[in-house]
Structure 1
Amino acid sequence: MTNYIIDKLYNRVEERGVVCVGLDTALSYIPDHIKEGRTDSEAIFEFNKQIIDATWDVSACFKVQIAYYEALGLEGLIAYKKTLDYLRDKGEIIIADIKRGDIAATATMYAKAHFDGDFEADFITLSPYMGMDSIEPYLPYLEKGSKGVFSLVRTSNPGAEDIEYLDTTGDKKVYEVVADKITEMGKNYTGSCGYTAIGGVIGCTHVEEGKKIRSNYSNMFFLIPGYGAQGGKAEDVALYLNNGNGGVVNSSRGILLAYKKENREKEFALCAREEAIKMRDAIREAVKNI
């Protein structure tokens, strides 16, 4: 039986909880004493490094949003690569949030770029709304067991209702049709934990559907955005989990900027750790109360 990366992520959640630390690092987030005497690239990496060192043992994984690094050009991409390398050297699980959605040869090149070489990650995010053939070029990497993807299904933004919530002729919402297709595609990559290496991005901000989505897609591992800054609460997140597993919950600004709540710039990494623990424990408690 193939050992899939999803089994490793499942086990990390069992060990450390569901927190996914989002390294969506903007220069404005970084305290002045970290910036002083450093280039932009050096400052971003030093900030990320200290956040990683402070939170790795209370987090299941780290999500690195590439847009924050691309926006700074080569300086940003150097920091992006150094962050990925550091996470890998520490044995942490990396989700590269790249949201690619193209097809054919272009998608093949995206797969090579982000599953191999300088920008290698364990999981990447994809957008399937151009069709399922936008995911197929990534499947050879999944077959080896060491890589996985999270496909957008039902996102946390208000605009999700513009397309994802449209009714289809089969009395299902568009996002449900997408989830059905992803579930079917993922069956060939099922780990021993029961979840597949093709997970779904499921925002926690539409709580009325939480239990239904978790029940309907019991083999889909969820990457859950929307917690904290976007309004999602621990009790909302708990609906999308299965006995406290089956998903990871991303928090970016809530963790990275925790130090600003108490004006503790010198202790920004400690504040991030405290926030991650608070988040982890709140979600665990909410799961008990379902």
Structure 2
Amino acid sequence: MFADKYMERVIRTKSHLCVGLDPILDKFPSVLLERAEKMYGKTPEGAGYAIFEFNKLIIDTIADKVPVVKPQLAYYEKYDHFGVAAFWQTVEYAQKRGLLVIADAKRGDIGTTSQAYAEAFYKSTEDEWMSSVAVDAVTVNPYLGSDGLDPFVDLSSGNDKGTIILVKTSNPSSGELQDQIIENNGKCISELVCDYINSCSNPIGKYGFSDVGAVIGATYAKDLARFREILPNSLFLVPGIGYQGGDIKLLEAAFNEKGLGAIISCTRAINYAYQTVGVSEEEAKDSILKAVDSFNQSINSVLIGAGKYFIDEL
């Protein structure tokens, strides 16, 4: 199961941190961009080269420090097929280094189109024309209902893959839809999504979690305890610390009483932790490593303070 694999990585690394891989070229070390431009010019091909090189730098730095990485697909797709190729190269490279990979794709459609999306990320054993490289989990948009979600849940079930469904996202306008109350039952829309997640949260793994998880933003920390109560067997992907302003000190509610079940995501504050693009690649690695160590220490300190740190006993 994806949930068990994630928990085993948590135990091994003593970390609940997920490092996003969102490539922003003008934040890359200039020495890397200069090399890409010399080889390919300022082209999508050059961008794809630079992205994969920078991702390798990050992955090599953090592979033994965190359980999982999360590339956001839009940052790759903007550079045509070269960017998409860099995405899949990144997936393969990260997994070879022992990391799990969550594709932050937020896909949502219906019928055979949703099935095709699911097969693109999880891969289909029946299609001999497809690559064998698959992600470990993918984020999915629930707006189209079960028609859009079922293909992901069905294909991931029994294949050690995870489906992570948007419930309460970190953006400021999320409440325009997600917080709206349904008159006939008094639940808000995000709670209806939770009902769907609970309906397909079997089997439960040995650490108490299913392979169907939820995205719950760190910027709405007051809601974390409520959603943890509603979804006791779901992993929470929690974006929004760092650049978006989520407070690490308030995240303990995302974890269960054993201090498990949350995937705390941080991207820019780690990827671009160095102060200037004029750094060398080794200096960039050093800054990234220090940032990861700092976030790991902060998250574990919160769990210790809440009486929820039991990793050493698992």
Q: TM-score, normalised by structure 1?
A: 0.94
- The whole-number CA distance in structure 2 between the counterparts of 1:144 and 1:284 is 31
3-state SS of 2:144 partner: coil
Structure 1 equivalent of residue 193 of structure 2: 178
Alpha-carbon displacement from aligned partner over 1:171-216 (angstroms, at most 9, x marks no partner)? 2211011112211122x23212111100000101112222222222
- The whole-number CA distance in structure 1 between the counterparts of 2:81 and 2:135 is 19
- Is 1:6 paired with 2:22? no
Structure 2 equivalent of residue 33 of structure 1: 31
Which 4+ residue blocks in structure 1 deviate beyond 4 angstroms? 261-265
| Mapping for residues 109-124 of structure 1, pairs under 5 Å | 109-116=116-123, 117-118=130-131, 120-124=134-138
Unaligned residue ranges in structure 2 (runs of 5+):
37-45, 124-129, 307-314
Q: Measure how far apart 1:273 and its partner are.
A: 1.3
- The whole-number CA distance in structure 1 between the counterparts of 2:83 and 2:157 is 32
- The whole-number CA distance in structure 2 between the counterparts of 1:244 and 1:276 is 19
Letter in 2 for 1:120: A
3-state SS of 2:275 partner: helix
Q: Select between 134-143 and 17-26 the one with higher mean Cα deviation.
A: 134-143
- Is 1:24 paired with 2:18? no
* Structure whose alpha-carbon radius of gyration is higher: 2
Q: Measure how far apart 1:41 and its partner are.
A: 1.5
User: How large is the Cα RMSD of the aligned pairs?
Assistant: 1.6
Tell me if the contact between 1:227 and 1:237 (Cα under 8 Å) persists in the aligned partners.
Answer: no
Q: Percent identity?
A: 33
Structure 2 equivalent of residue 102 of structure 1: 109
Tell me if the contact between 2:111 and 2:147 (Cα under 8 Å) persists in the aligned partners.
Answer: yes
Q: Select between 215-224 and 111-120 the one with higher mean Cα deviation.
A: 111-120
Letter in 2 for 1:285: S
Structure 2 equivalent of residue 220 of structure 1: 234
Structure 2 equivalent of residue 269 of structure 1: 285
Structure 2 equivalent of residue 15 of structure 1: 12
- The whole-number CA distance in structure 2 between the counterparts of 1:174 and 1:218 is 18
- Is 1:135 paired with 2:149? yes
Unaligned residue ranges in structure 1 (runs of 5+):
none
Alpha-carbon displacement from aligned partner over 1:52-82 (angstroms, at most 9, x marks no partner)? 0101111110001110000111221121121
- The whole-number CA distance in structure 2 between the counterparts of 1:155 and 1:265 is 36
- The whole-number CA distance in structure 2 between the counterparts of 1:136 and 1:104 is 9
Q: Measure how far apart 1:261 and its partner are.
A: 7.0
Letter in 1 for 2:205: G
- The whole-number CA distance in structure 1 between the counterparts of 2:226 and 2:152 is 29
- The whole-number CA distance in structure 2 between the counterparts of 1:219 and 1:255 is 29
3-state SS of 1:258 partner: coil
Given candidates 31, 49, 61, the residue that maps to 1:54 is 61
Q: Select between 276-285 and 258-267 the one with higher mean Cα deviation.
A: 258-267
- Is 1:158 paired with 2:172? yes
Number of aligned positions between the proteins: 286
Letter in 2 for 1:252: T
Structure 1 equivalent of residue 163 of structure 2: 149
- The whole-number CA distance in structure 2 between the counterparts of 1:268 and 1:199 is 33
Q: Measure how far apart 1:143 and its partner are.
A: 2.5
Q: Select between 130-139 and 219-228 the one with higher mean Cα deviation.
A: 130-139
Alpha-carbon displacement from aligned partner over 1:137-156 (angstroms, at most 9, x marks no partner)? 12332232321110000101
| Mapping for residues 179-258 of structure 1, pairs under 5 Å | 179-186=194-201, 188-242=202-256, 243-258=258-273
3-state SS of 1:95 partner: strand
3-state SS of 2:218 partner: coil
Q: Measure how far apart 1:262 and its partner are.
A: 10
Structure 1 equivalent of residue 126 of structure 2: none
Tell me if the contact between 1:60 and 1:248 (Cα under 8 Å) persists in the aligned partners.
Answer: no
